[in-house]
Chains A and B, each alone.
Chain A
Amino acid sequence: MSANGNGFKRADFDAIAESIRPGSRVLDLGCGDGVLLKYLKGARGVTGYGVEIDDASVLGCVRNGVDVIQSDLERGLSEFESRSFDYVILSQTLQAMMNSERIINDMLRVGREGIVTFPNFGYWKNRLQVLGGHMPVSDNLPYQWHDTPNVHLCTISDFEGFCASHNVRILERKVLTDGRTVSVLPNLLGSLAVYRFQRA
């Protein structure tokens, strides 16, 4: 899940950057080698930290000049005070969390707003592969069923259902495919979802 700045990730980054007020304080959960934060520092003048568990990624952050706290997101965000960030970002990581509900709650405790991005499992190409009798494998979902870190894949409709039932107000939604915005039938035609939300 390292963000390596390829075309797909770029779209993700730009969509996030557009949602963020310049100069804000940002916490990036599962930050990989810190390229998103580095990008946001340059594009939006943000300050903040990444949180990452992987040793090589922590080293990558230091190399990228991004402050990083090595920590396991599954243990929660107890190091961070309530309301201490403008945004808490969970980019391409929600689907790999064991406790999705807890991390969303923690994001909205620590940050005024949360931003998540995730691959839309409802994307038609994924549906087609399932119809063909196989778990989807694609650029967005590059893993085989047996080696995937993704334990909680969801569709756009699923996520919005979760928000509705968990007191989460969606402030903004962007749906992308190959870097282009999708406005028609997003749950079918969109491969990547970006949400900005707050506590309702």
Chain B
Amino acid sequence: MDTRTTTGSVGVVTPQTAKFSEPLRLRSGAVMDAYDLVYETYGRLNVERSNAVLVCHALNAAHHVAGYYADDPHNIGWWDNMIGPGKPVDTDRFFVIGVNNLGGCHGSTGPMSLNPKTGKPWGADFPVVTVEDWVATQARLADHLGIRRFAAVMGGSLGAMQSLAWSHIHPERVRHALVIACAPNLSAQNIAFNEVARQAIITDPDFHGGHYYEHNTRPTRGLRVARMVGHITYLSDDEMASKFGRQLKNGKLNYTFDTEFEIESYLRHQGGKFSEYFDANTYLRITKALDYFDPALDHGGNLAKALSPARAKFLVVSFTTDWRFSPQRSREIVKALLDNRCGVSYAEINAPHGHDAFLLEDARYHGLVAAYFDRIERELAT
């Protein structure tokens, strides 16, 4: 149990499945009659059931947040540097939950699942999902696990949008919300990048209007291009310059359309890897969820009003070189929380890695999260 390992890993983990049969009306109006959510947990829920932390995932991640699988030891959780024994989110003290969101492609019900009405995969017929829909399903998972109130809900990027949504949709269920590398909504530029990614997928001849499973094929070319576009936006210009610069793959120019520059090789590699394991229909839906997120929309554009039900305390973190979800956007969130007189701390981490910084190890960033969780633990004790 709570033995602190030298590696700081939670060790071997096993995903679990929760089945839900109460129909859920989505924001789009569509109704999911039944659905599964796949999740993992680390650490132990205390007797008071007060030390639970929900980790919400971003675009390409899922429920596998920390540790590794017995049969696949190289498959390490996506936030393993943040979560584990002795790590900033210390699983010796907190009970951490990772969940694959509805519409995902890692085991939770999504476009790849069988549509009970047709007996065939949902494909294009799977409804469009939103951040608020995810919060609704996560709340049911919390009920299922017997957690009334989370010590913290946390996430980065799209995951942070979920923790922000949690704070105002279920104010009584969130003590602390960690909102990392977030924005109160996507800018036109951000939506534009998502649309390029979607068009790459949709116009791939193998897409078949989203019913590619029936054709025993996958729109991997489109997915590859979509991921390449995404990757460009997750890195900063400086980071790309220092990592790749104008380095050539083979030392000289060949005047062809093969990969000549290292950056081309990197993007093709990342795109190729991604297209092997990620489902295109899921990718389309997740980018839509990003585009739709805009809590202020129902409140005449007034973010403070949208967040006014929130009772949580907040830690908002941004990264100086993140141009996709820039510090300025995080400051909008901070301003709304200040206007509402919420408890909020805000840190702007000087990191060179762009949007990706929220996933990387950085002493200042991790030190801050660790100190914040110490504070949460002290509050739980009083």
Contact = CB atoms under 8 A, between A and B. Distances in A.
A58 B343 contact: no
Contacts of B368: 58-59, 62
Interface stretch (A66-74, A117-125, A191-199): A66-74
Nearest to A81: B339
Given A69-B334, A79-B335, A80-B338, A59 B371 contact: yes
Nearest to A27: B338
Interface in A33-92: 49, 55, 58-59, 61-63, 65, 67-71, 79-81, 84
B375 A79 contact: no
Interface in B318-367: 331, 334-335, 338-339, 341, 343-350, 364, 367
Contacts of A61: 345
A49 B338 contact: yes
Interface of B: 313, 315, 331, 334-335, 338-339, 341, 343-350, 364, 367-368, 371-372, 374-375, 378
Nearest to B318: A70
Contacts of B375: 62-63, 65
B80 to A, nearest CB: 23
Contacts of A84: 338-339
Given A59-B364, A62-B368, A79-B331, A67 B343 contact: yes
Contacts of B374: 63
30 contacts: A49-B338, A49-B344, A55-B347, A55-B350, A58-B347, A59-B367, A59-B368, A59-B371, A61-B345, A62-B345, A62-B368, A62-B371, A62-B372, A65-B375, A67-B343, A67-B344, A68-B346, A68-B347, A69-B334, A69-B338, A69-B344, A69-B346, A70-B346, A70-B347, A70-B348, A71-B348, A79-B334, A79-B338, A81-B338, A84-B338
Interface of A: 25, 49, 55, 58-59, 61-63, 65, 67-71, 79-81, 84
Given A62-B347, A79-B331, 19 more contacts: A49-B338, A55-B350, A58-B345, A59-B367, A59-B368, A59-B371, A62-B371, A63-B371, A63-B375, A65-B378, A69-B338, A69-B344, A69-B345, A70-B346, A71-B346, A71-B348, A79-B338, A80-B338, A81-B339
Contact of A68 (B339, B345, B350, B367): B345
A65 B339 CA distance: 20
A63 B364 CA distance: 13
Contacts of A70: 346-348
Contacts of B344: 49, 67, 69
Going nearest first, the 7 A-B pairs with the smallest beta carbon separation are A62-B371, A69-B346, A63-B371, A70-B347, A70-B348, A67-B345, A79-B335
A63 B350 CA distance: 19
Contacts of A67: 313, 343-345
Dominant SS among interface residues on chain B = helix
B305 to A, nearest CB: 14
Nearest to A66: B345
Nearest to A47: B341
Contacts of B334: 69, 79
B332 to A, nearest CB: 9
Contacts of A25: 341
A69 B335 CA distance: 10
Contacts of A59: 364, 367-368, 371
A83 B374 CA distance: 33
A176 to B, nearest CB: 31
Contacts of B313: 67
B325 to A, nearest CB: 16
B167 to A, nearest CB: 15
A110 B169 CA distance: 30
B336 to A, nearest CB: 10
B313, B334, B338: residue with the most chain A Cβ atoms closer than 10 Å: B338
A191 B304 CA distance: 44
A72 to B, nearest CB: 9
B378 to A, nearest CB: 7
B285 to A, nearest CB: 35
Nearest to A60: B371
A22 B371 CA distance: 28
A62 B372 CA distance: 6
Contacts of A63: 371, 374-375
Contacts of B339: 81, 84
Contacts of B343: 67
B176 to A, nearest CB: 12
Contacts of B378: 65
A195 B344 CA distance: 28
Contacts of A71: 346, 348
Which of A49, A71, A80 has the largest count of B CB atoms less than 10 A from its CB?
A49
B327 to A, nearest CB: 9
A41 to B, nearest CB: 12
Contacts of A79: 331, 334-335, 338
A25 B371 CA distance: 24
A55 B350 CA distance: 9
Contacts of B315: 62
Contacts of A80: 338
A84 B344 CA distance: 15
B36 to A, nearest CB: 38
